[in-house]
Amino acid sequence: MKKNVLLILMLWITGSCSVLDSVAADDFDEYHEHAKEVLANCVHDVAPRFGKRICDCGYRDEEYIAPKFEGSTTEIEIANCKSLRIRHDSFTGLFQLTGLTIINVENLVLEPNSLDFTRNDPFARLKIYFTNSLIEEVPSHLMRGFIAELTFTRCRIGVFRPYSITSIREQLESLNILESFVNKIERHAFKRFDVSQLTIEGTKFITPIPFQSFYEIDVLNRFIMSNSSLYSLLPGAFTMKNVTNLIIVNSEFDNLSGDCLSMHIRNSVRMVGIYFNRIDYAAFRGITLDSSYYSRHSEKPYLLFHNNRIRHLEDARSLAFSNDFNTQLRGIHVEQSITCKDVVSLKQSSLLFNHSDEIFFVSSKESFQSLHDIQRVQCLENNFWLYLIVGVTVASIILVTIVLLISWYCMAQKRKQRQMLNIVMPEPRTYRETQIIMQIENHGLLKTDL
């Protein structure tokens, strides 16, 4: 009996262990994965700068987590990691940090609130640099506190989640996305903060930028976009509160939807050397002038639209800008041919009419020709016979009219001559004879006639 009880107990224990093993295998994979994580080893810099910590993973094939930094550390550099996780409490114990650099990380995992610097001294002017790293996700509510600069350089970014860059106290000196590759930006990813300079340079965005991705941002100095490629801007993609100077140069846009750029400009706009695959109606009408401009100036500011190339122009209204600016077009090449009917439609735009010698279309000879020359030469040649027929018709009508007038005049002269011939003229008499006749008529026959 005791042997049976012991056997049953052993079987029960064995079964329980197998069940635990299966549960661990199915439901705690993440736990086992985290169990492999290794705390990054950080040392003090040997240089005379006080308070700098350097964490070098040495490209070892391990999953590292950033340690919890505390105290008076002023600079942190984490580099050369196959995988690195930044936890939500990694930097909450710091109060004098001025620089954070994360460089050469093949898989950088950022937890929400992992860049929490609310305890950091606002006068420290913290600068954060992500360099040559792969970030699958920039999570919502990534950062908090007083941050002076945020820069992504040569990074591959999977997605910017909503509210990923927000809750920044005071203002950023600069926000930079440089030489990077961005797969996706979600709505409200960059929201409600002030920045002195916003720079997007050498960066490629491969999916459409949706409505209010950049929302209520006040750019106090310049918003610069250069040498970048953007797949598509949907309506309201850049809904900026105020932008002092807007500069877009040497970049490429696959498609600009209507009102995709909604910005109040305080000073100037410059768009130079840009390739547009397609421009929809009123793509630029959302760029308007802030009312504060006239408190400092008396004339309209210039909006420069120079040396740009357009593959497809929907109609004349696609190149429509706000009347707040003195718009200047120069060297605009449109890679499509137009008919004389299109010329008439395009000339209805006062902007194109005033710059008809600066906007070029593909002519019949597959070379670029100005709108002015197309209208002056090509359309006149195409309408030669029409003009000839109209001219002959008008000349014929004038000739017939002249002949009719001449005929009427001649007939009128002949009629007048006939009337003059029918008049009976009295016989000529002397004055004495006329008196005698009048007396006879008045008094009857003379006595000598009895």
What mean pLDDT comes out for the span 57-83? Answer: 91
CA distances, 214 to each of 163, 185, 253, 257 (Å): 10, 9, 17, 16
Q: What pLDDT sits at residue 348? A: 73
- Give bridge partners of residue 71 from the DSSP assignment: 94
pLDDT given for residue 373 in this prediction: 83
Q: pLDDT tens digit string along 13-27? A: 444 343 333 333 333
Q: Among 139-153, 271-285, 317-331, 389-403, which stretch is predicted with the lowest mean pLDDT?
A: 389-403
Q: Give the 3-state secondary structure of residue 273.
A: coil
Tokens 């077009």 locate to 329
pLDDT score at 405: 83
Average of per-residue pLDDT values in the chain: 82
User: Which has more pLDDT, 259 or 442?
Assistant: 259
Q: Would you state the pLDDT for residue 159? A: 96
Q: Which of 5-9, 43-47, 96-100 has the highest mean pLDDT?
A: 96-100
Given a cut of 90, is residue 230 above it in pLDDT?
A: yes
Going through 240-293 in order, the beta strands assigned E by DSSP cover 242-249, 252-256, 261-272, 275-279, 287-289
- Global pTM value: 0.75
Instruction: State pLDDT tens for residues 390-419.
Output: 777 888 888 888 888 888 878 877 777 766
Q: What is the Cα–Cα distance from 349 to 264, expressed in whole angstroms?
A: 24
β-pair partners for 44: 53
Give the pLDDT confidence of 329-378 residue by residue, as tens digits. Answer: 999 999 888 877 777 777 777 788 888 888 998 876 678 888 888 877 76
pLDDT band at 423 (very low <50, low <70, confident <90, very high): low
Is residue 214 over pLDDT 90?
yes
Tally of CB atoms within 10 A around 238 = 22
Mean pLDDT of the 202-224 span: 95
The mean pLDDT value for 171-187 works out to 94
